[in-house]
């Protein structure tokens, strides 16, 4: 008996990891905890008893050794963005791309787990580990189906639904200006309207920061504190992840 990851699902995971800046692959084949509880990270032949993940007709097809789920860790901003895209697609009756899946879990606010049973089209729930990683289960018959993986990846990356369906959510915040804000003592300070926009947002979040368009020691200090609070790389540099988190991370 064994559980294996198909090459198709491995490619899907790599493509997801490459497409989302903060994404870090967490797994396909389940660990010992998964093996005890069962589910889509465990093959059909390795299930501990009559698990829900082997009951549907679609889950009784395909190689009995296939795992059929992917976990991907992301920062707070990307967790909210990807979960929101999946949720919008799942709720759109004109968007068939998640028909290949059974369920997904993630979070849209960093506090509550958001889940959806895409087979029965209803909310679902899971444990708090899904506050830091998104889980997507495929119906087992599709675990080696490239078309299924492409369809789901297009949702994750924010591509519009086929046939003129509702586009999946794009970032609901100003686009990153394309340059990183950094402060180095002894060097001229960066300044501009983009710096002011970020400062205004941080001030609105409750941080004590001057809104003058100059990225100096105070702004860099606020950036470092904010990065530490949100689990981002603490370097005092406002790059795309720190910029996005200023609008999408929960206010705590």
**174 occurs within a structural domain:** no
Q: Tell me if 180 is assigned to some domain.
A: no
Predicted local distance difference test score (pLDDT) of residue 202? 93
Asked if residue 175 is part of any domain, the answer here is no
Q: Could you list the residue range(s) of the whole structural domain that residue 208 is in? A: 190-248
> What's the pLDDT tens digit per position in 77-117?
889 899 999 999 999 888 999 999 999 999 988 888 999 99
- Once rounded to an integer, what is the mean pLDDT over residues 208-237? 95
Residues 33 and 117 in one domain: yes
At 69 the three-state DSSP class reads: strand
The Cα 15–Cα 52 span in angstroms is: 28
Domain count, the chain: 2
Q: Record the tokens describing residue 38, joined without a space.
A: 């069962």
Whether residues 52 and 149 fall in one domain = yes
Reported residue count of the chain is 252
**CB proximity list for 142: less than 8 A, separation 6 or greater:** 58, 62, 68, 100, 101, 148
Residue 89 has a pLDDT of: 92
The answer to whether position 124 is within a domain reads yes
Does residue 170 form part of some domain? no
E strands in the chain: 24-27, 69-73, 101-106, 114-117, 122-124, 133-138, 190-191, 214-215
- What's the pTM value of the predicted model, to 2 decimals? 0.66
11 and 104 share a domain? Answer: yes
* Whether 106 and 201 share a structural domain: no
Integer Cα distance of 234 and 252 in angstroms: 18
- Same domain for 84 and 21: yes
**pLDDT tens profile 167-192:** 555 556 777 788 899 999 999 999 99
Residues 157 and 112 placed together within one structural domain of the fold: yes
One domain, residues 23 and 130: yes
**Domain contains 65:** yes
CATH of the domain at 208: 1.10.101.10
- Residue 171 placed within a domain: no
Domain boundary residue, one of 164, 182, 201: 164
> Same domain, yes or no, for 134 and 214?
no
Q: Does residue 12 belong to any structural domain of this protein?
A: yes
């Amino acid at each position: 008996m064994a559980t294996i990851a198909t090459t198709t699902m491995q490619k899907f995971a790599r493509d997801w990891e490459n497409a989302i800046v903060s994404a870090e692959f967490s797994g396909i084949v389940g660990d010992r905890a998964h093996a005890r509880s069962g589910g889509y990270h465990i093959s059909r032949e390795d299930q501990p008893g009559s698990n829900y993940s082997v009951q549907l007709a679609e889950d009784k097809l395909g190689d009995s050794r296939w795992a059929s789920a992917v976990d991907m860790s992301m920062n707070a901003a990307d967790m909210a963005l990807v979960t929101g895209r999946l949720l919008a697609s799942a709720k759109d009756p004109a968007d068939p791309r998640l028909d290949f899946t059974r369920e997904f879990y993630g979070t849209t606010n960093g506090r509550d787990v958001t889940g959806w049973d895409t087979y029965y089209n209803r909310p679902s729930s899971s444990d708090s580990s899904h506050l830091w990683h998104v889980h997507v289960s495929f119906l087992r018959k599709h675990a080696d189906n490239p078309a299924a993986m492409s369809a789901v990846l297009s949702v994750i990356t924010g591509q519009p639904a086929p046939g003129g369906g509702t586009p999946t959510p794009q970032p609901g915040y100003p686009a990153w200006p394309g340059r990183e804000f950094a402060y180095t003592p002894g060097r001229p300070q960066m300044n501009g309207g983009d710096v002011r926009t970020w400062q205004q947002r941080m001030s609105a979040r409750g941080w004590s920061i001057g809104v003058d368009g100059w990225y100096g020691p105070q702004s860099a200090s606020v950036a470092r504190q904010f990065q530490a609070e949100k689990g981002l790389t603490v370097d005092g540099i406002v790059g795309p992840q720190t910029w996005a988190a200023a609008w999408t991370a929960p206010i705590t």
